[in-house]
């Protein structure tokens, strides 16, 4: 088996806010073509870790290397080019309310790829179709969308610049079970078809068992374990055992694995 290519390396990461320390000496790798689920109890800094990796938060200490380069030490022009290789779906979607769905997806193509509005909106239609939205959805404004449509529209925008890595922050939160399951299958389809690499912060046990190749558990200000779902579920730690092998965890496992 060929060695996995590491796209993101986090080493010795520390995030401190005043006297509050969220992460201390945290290490984590993300490999090309995998879907990595990131879980942890409340206050373990899952979203803070995501924002540190994409450059929205400057860590107190440590290093984050994306595609072999340290994002925070690059000149502005090189940093911008590197950031375009990442797509982000934030909690709540973060769509611009004054723009249609099509315009939301076209915006990064106009601003970063230099496309004309006409060309950008034509390409936006392709991204919306990839995300599973009906053709008429492009004309709608975010306020008119259901929760599932917001997630798909936000994913389409994250995919606009054909990124190598997509970061998802609680992508199935607020969705009904059918909508959440559809989103999980969409992720698998996009990963298999486009070779996407996915970093997904989630509490959704069904998503963890259905879509993730590995799971990283944040605890005690670091990554306690990062391994396959089966090995993580067997890890000797009270929180992990309660999370993965409690009633909901067992039900999610049976639903996916049929046993």
Which residue pairs from 182-189 have beta carbons closer than 8 angstroms and sit at least 24 positions apart in sequence? 182/132, 182/148, 183/148, 183/151, 183/152, 183/207, 184/210, 184/211, 185/210, 186/131, 186/132, 186/152, 186/155, 187/35, 187/211, 188/35
Dihedral of CA 159/162/163/165: which sign? positive
Using one digit for the tens of pLDDT, what is the confidence trace for 75-94?
Answer: 888 888 888 899 999 877 78
Task: List the chain pLDDT tens, one digit each, 259 residues.
Answer: 357 899 999 999 999 999 899 999 999 999 999 999 999 988 899 999 999 999 889 999 999 999 999 888 888 888 888 888 999 998 777 889 999 999 999 999 999 888 999 999 999 999 999 888 888 999 999 999 988 899 999 999 999 999 999 999 999 988 888 888 999 999 999 999 889 999 999 989 999 999 999 999 999 999 999 999 999 999 999 999 999 987 777 777 677 776 6
Instruction: Write down the domain spans for the chain.
Output: 101-162
Contact call for residues 152 and 93 (beta carbons, < 8 A): no
DSSP 3-state of 66: strand
């Amino acid at each position: 088996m060929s060695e996995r290519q590491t796209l993101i390396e986090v080493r010795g990461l520390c995030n401190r806010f005043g006297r509050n320390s969220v992460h201390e000496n945290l290490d984590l790798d993300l490999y090309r073509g995998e879907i990595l689920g990131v879980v942890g109890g409340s206050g373990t800094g899952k979203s803070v870790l995501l924002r540190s990796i994409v450059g929205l938060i400057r860590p107190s200490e440590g290093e984050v290397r994306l595609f072999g380069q340290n994002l925070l030490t690059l000149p502005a022009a090189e940093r911008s080019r590197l950031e375009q290789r990442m797509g982000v779906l934030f909690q709540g979607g973060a769509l611009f309310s004054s723009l249609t769905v099509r315009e939301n997806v076209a915006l990064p193509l106009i601003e970063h790829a230099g496309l004309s509005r006409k060309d950008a909106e034509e390409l936006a239609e392709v991204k919306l179709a990839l995300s599973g939205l009906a053709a008429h959805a492009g004309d709608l404004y975010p306020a008119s969308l259901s929760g599932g449509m917001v997630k798909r529209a936000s994913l389409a925008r994250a995919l606009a610049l054909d990124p190598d890595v997509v970061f998802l922050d609680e992508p199935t939160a607020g969705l009904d079970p059918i909508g959440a399951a559809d989103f999980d299958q969409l992720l698998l389809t996009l990963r298999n078809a486009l070779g996407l690499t996915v970093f997904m912060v989630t509490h959704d046990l069904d998503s963890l068992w259905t879509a993730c190749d590995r799971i990283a558990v944040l605890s005690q200000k670091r990554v306690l374990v990062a391994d396959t779902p089966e090995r993580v579920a067997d890890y000797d730690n009270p929180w992990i055992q309660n999370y993965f092998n409690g009633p909901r965890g067992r039900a999610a496992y049976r639903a996916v694995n049929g046993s």
